[in-house]
Amino acid sequence: MNAKVSASGAKADIQRALRVGVIGAGVMGSNHARVLAGLPGVVLVGIVDPLPEHRTRATELVGCRAFESLDELLGEGVDAVTIAAPTHLHHEIALTCIARNIHILVEKPVASTVEEGREIVEAAQRAGVTLMVGHVERFNPAVAAIKQAISGEDILSIGITRVGPFPPRMSNVGVVIDLAVHDIDLIRWFTESDIVEVQPQLSSAVAEREDIALLQFRTASGVLAHINTNWLTPFKARSVTVATRGKYVMGDLLTRQVTECFGFKPDGSYSMRHLPVGHDEPLRAELIAFLDAVRTGKLPAVSGDEGVASLEIAIRCLESPARPAASTARKGPRRVVG
C-alpha cells in the first residue's frame, strides 16, 4: 500500500506543472521566456532584469511578469530557472539558486572562470539539483543529423566555420568565448573524447579583444580538428565537415542541409545523398530536454562537467601564446616607429 502511494506520488510530481523563471531579459533571456511560455506543463513565473527597458521588452514580447531583482522572482516560488544573465554574474546567481534547491540551466559559457564553473558543479552535486549548460547548438537539427551520420565511424578530422559581422550587443568577450566555445563543445561531443592539444592563432583587427581566431586541436582519440571564427565576415556562415574512414559529411547549420559522401572507389568516384534533417527550434528542444531532466532526475543533455571542460579549452586558447617560426625570426635591432 505504501509502495503504491509512493509510486503514485512520484508520478503526480512528474506530471505537476513546473514553475520556471528566467534570469536575464536580454535577447537570449527573452527568447527563453517566449519558448517557456508556450510549453505544456510549465508555468512561467516571470523574468528578472535590472534594466527597465529590458523588462518592458520582455513583457511586451511574452506577456509575463517582470521583476527587478532575483529575490522578487524567487519569492514567488520556482522549481527551476534558466540563467541568461551576463557571464560574470552566472556564478553568484547559480549558487544563490542552488542554495534554495532550485534546478538551473546556465547559458554558455557556464561561468567566467574554470574555478567558478567547478564551484557551480560541485554545489549542484551536493544539493542534488539538476544543472544543465546551454550549449544550444547541440540541439540544432543539422548537428543532430551529423552526429547520427558519424555514429560508430572512425573519425579522422573535423572542420568548423562560424563567422559573421561584429555583433552590436557584444560586451567584454571576444570570438573565442562568444562563438568558438560552441564548436569546442561540438568537437568533444562528436568525438566523445577530450581535447588534449591546443594550437591557437588569434588577432584583434578591429575590436579590443580577439575578433579573428584560427584554432587547431587534437583529441585524446587522435582526431584533428580546427575552428575558423571571426567578426569580420559581412554575413553569417555556420558549417561543419567531418571526415571518417568511410564517409565525408558536410553540414550547413543555417540552411540545415546535411550531405554525406560515401562509397569511395579506386577511380575517385563516390556517391552522395542528402540526409533527413528535423525542423525543431533548437532552443525549444534544449529547454524541453532540461525540463525532462528536472522531472525525471536523469542526467541532463549537457552536464555541468561538459560545460566546464569546454570553457577550460576556450580559456587555454586565449592563454596559449602563438609560436613564432624560429627560421623567420628577425635578427638584429628593431626599428622604433613613433
Q: What is the pLDDT of residues 200-242, one digit of tens each?
A: 999 999 888 899 999 999 999 999 999 999 999 999 999 999 9
**What pLDDT score was predicted for residue 331?**
39
Extract long-range pairs of 269-275: CB within 8 Å, 24+ residues apart. 275/145, 275/148, 275/149, 275/249
The second-level CATH assignment, the architecture, of 18-135 is 3-Layer(aba) Sandwich (3.40)
Peptide bond into 234 cis (omega under 30): no
Mean pLDDT to the nearest integer, 21-47? 96
Q: Residue 334: is its pLDDT beyond 50?
A: no
Does residue 163 surpass a pLDDT of 60?
yes
The pLDDT confidence band at residue 38, using thresholds 50, 70 and 90, is very high
Question: Rounded to whole angstroms, how far apart are CA atoms 81 and 25?
Answer: 13
Residue 3: is its pLDDT beyond 70? no
The whole-model pTM stands at 0.88
CA–CA dist 55, 22 (Å, integer): 11
Q: What are the CA-CA distances from residue 47 to residues 18, 58, 95, 314 (Å)?
A: 15, 8, 18, 30
Q: What is the pLDDT of residue 168?
A: 76
The mean pLDDT value of the chain amounts to 91
Count Cα atoms within 13 angstroms, Cβ side, for 31: 14
Which cell is 94 given? 547559480
pLDDT at 321 over 90: no
The residues of the chain that CATH labels 3.40.50.720 are 18-135
Whether pLDDT at 330 is above 50: no
Identify the CATH homologous superfamily for domain 137-279+303-319: Dihydrodipicolinate Reductase; domain 2 (3.30.360.10)
Span 122-144, pLDDT tens digits: 999 999 999 999 999 999 999 99
